[in-house]
Structure 1
Amino acid sequence: MIPQRSQVIQDVNSAFLHGEPSEDVFVEQPQGYEKKGQEHKVYKLKKALYGLKQAPELGIERFKHTLSEKVLKSVNMNTPCSLNQMRKKKYAREVLEKFGMDKSNPVKNPIVLGSKLTRDEGGVRVDTTLFKQVVGNLMYLTSTRPDLMYSVSLISRYVESPTEMHWQTTKRILRYVRGTVDLGILYKKQGNKELMAYTDSDYARDIDDRKSTSRYVFKLSSGVVAWSSKKQSVFTLLTTEAEFIAATSCTCQSIWMKMVLEKLGKVQNKCTTLFCDNSSTINLSKNPVMHGRSEHIDVRFHFLRGLSKDGMVKLVYCSSQEQVADIMTKPLKLDVFLKLRNLFGVCSVHAVN
């Protein structure tokens, strides 16, 4: 999987300590750490420190060097692989044991059809710390389990004041993990080498604030390589507006994805295809004269039109039944959920062993 920018986590508390000065740098002996009898001498730095003006640059250079040596050169996109399958399988079992769900009854989908979560202000409160721990552990699993993305992002909205209703939903997700610990993403050697994306939105589905949520999924080879489920920062008045904002977010990600793939030696020369199940959004990306449906859309989202006109991206209609991103939009019937999960490239690790 190619990580999203929001998924790249750095230890900011020690980031600068990994930089090595390219020239001799000396500092006075810190107060309390003077060497007795040699107080007049200075220290020569072996590593960068906070306060050193070169520290940020040195830290970035070290990070770029490590990335190129340890990551970019080690990736072979022509090799079939199951991303972190054995490690994440072990981690999933540890999570289940940690929260006492390793003996629970497994279920086939992470959330019940028709489920609607709210703040539930009158509900019975549960342990906030425990709830946050469970959500945090599940969020880590979503890095290789996109089928968990919708349900986990949903419960994460209530970590500050969780109730029994939220806890029961969370326990069902754990029961789903219990029954699917063998699942992971399979990338086949002869898979499709063209990057393609699916974009979708759930209009005003959040019951508490009526904001919409943007979803996108990127596929390469036989599996998904990037995915997102994020509540929109603005209120939308029409379905078309929510879908257009989601498509814009997907477009931004596609530009970054193509840059990453170029660094990996997999240049995407063709226009990136974005599949969308809303025909009005597709027409709006091509034709600005749709005042009734576009007058409320913030101007900052309209650069999608320019990219579409320049041939950088192309919005193509797909039916709702073939909309892969739908799995991260709402609870689905079991047969639909399993079908879309399969289109993600998610399968048992035994399929690659």
Structure 2
Amino acid sequence: MIHHQKYVKELLKKYDFESAKVNHTPMGPATRLDEDPNGKSVNQTNYTGMIGSLLYLTASRPDISFSVGLCARFRSNPKESHMTAVKRILRYLRGTNNLCLFYPRAGAFDSKGFADADYAGDLVNKKSTSDMVQFLGFCMVSWSSKKQNIVALSTVEAEYIAAAACCSQLLWIKQQLRDFGIIYDCVPIYCYNTSAICISKDPVYHTRVKHIHIRHHFLKDNVEKGLIKVDFYETENQIDDILTNPLNREKHEKMRMELRMLKLR
């Protein structure tokens, strides 16, 4: 079990949230943060310190990765609306301080990845947010929630870029495991966007995606080599949604369980 329980307690004590009201999700499902130019400014040093502390915590708490990453985009000029969002994360941590990443001793050891994207989710520059999760058996070994470097011109492009990033990480994991004598022929990536899957398999689609940067087409190259395969996965079961969007309590807790985040005994 991997956790930062002691660190969370110290963090809550440092910012005087030990007896604060508990929230059941790190961010409300309707929350949409922007630069808030008319909002009241808050202390930048204090805000940056809180963000830095929370970013460190994401090493064992993927359930707050999206929320912390979104709030971190406004460190240069934080407003009250941004501080309110950060405080909600702290109140969520107070109610979930006993969560840990669980790694069972035995079980399957197959490798797989999940990729998703929130198209044009950033209200400031309309860039999409990519998320990906990689598993070895039932164990989550790698995850990421990151704003894309380019502005995607379609949902398909945003999803394809996310899948390409997941492919890169899975190839790195395969190489690391090869050093230990564990060899995989083909690793699946699960994606719910059928058009993105078709782009990775069918060259006919390439005339429609010339605007996608050439570096992202290495996903198709690895699919053709048989190192990676991209399979369909239903939207409602996409377990990495927690890294892309703010969710309601029911779905947030369901996704958290799917990521093997359990309560400490």
SS at match of 1:290: helix
2:112 is the alignment partner of 1:196: yes
Question: 1:274-308 deviations in whole A, cap 9, x for unaligned?
Answer: 00010000010001211464121111111111100
* Deviation of the 1:167 alpha carbon: 0.3
- Matched residues in 2 for 1:266 and 1:275: separation? 25
Q: 1:102 aligns with which of 18, 28, 34?
A: 18
2:256 is the alignment partner of 1:341: yes
Question: 1:81-138 deviations in whole A, cap 9, x for unaligned?
Answer: x12x3xx100010000011111111111100011000011111000100111101111
Question: 1:37-84 deviations in whole A, cap 9, x for unaligned?
Answer: xxxxxxxxxxxxxxxxxxxxxxxxxxxxxxxxxxxxxxxxxxxxx12x
* Deviation of the 1:268 alpha carbon: 3.4
Which residue is equivalent to 2:166?
250
* Deviation of the 1:261 alpha carbon: 2.4
Q: Work out whether residues 125 and 163 of structure 1, in 8 Å CA contact, stay in contact via their aligned partners in 2.
A: yes
Question: 1:214-265 deviations in whole A, cap 9, x for unaligned?
Answer: 11001123231100011111111110011111111111111111122233x2
Aligned residues: 265
State TM-score, norm by structure 1: 0.73
- Matched residues in 2 for 1:308 and 1:331: separation? 32
- Matched residues in 2 for 1:277 and 1:223: separation? 21
Q: 1:309 aligns with which of 213, 224, 227?
A: 224
Which residue is equivalent to 2:135?
219
Which residue is equivalent to 2:193?
278
Q: Work out whether residues 204 and 211 of structure 1, in 8 Å CA contact, stay in contact via their aligned partners in 2.
A: yes
* Deviation of the 1:165 alpha carbon: 0.1
- Matched residues in 2 for 1:306 and 1:125: separation? 48
- Matched residues in 1 for 2:17 and 2:124: separation? 30
SS at match of 1:201: strand
- Give RMSD over aligned pairs: 1.2
Residue identity over aligned pairs, in percent, reads 36
Between the two structures, name the one with larger relative contact order (CA 8 Å, sep ≥ 6).
2
- Matched residues in 2 for 1:132 and 1:121: separation? 18
Question: 1:192-226 deviations in whole A, cap 9, x for unaligned?
Answer: 20111100001001111001111100112323110
State TM-score, norm by structure 2: 0.97
Q: Work out whether residues 187 and 223 of structure 1, in 8 Å CA contact, stay in contact via their aligned partners in 2.
A: yes
- Matched residues in 2 for 1:193 and 1:268: separation? 11
Ranges of 4+ aligned residues in structure 1 off by more than 4 Å: none
**Aligned positions of 1:1-353 closer than 5 A:** 82-83=1-2, 85=3, 88-263=4-179, 265=180, 267-291=182-206, 293-350=208-265
**Structure ID, larger Rg:** 1
Unaligned stretches of 5+ residues in structure 2:
none
- Matched residues in 1 for 2:114 and 2:134: separation? 6
Moved more, 218-227 or 249-258: 218-227
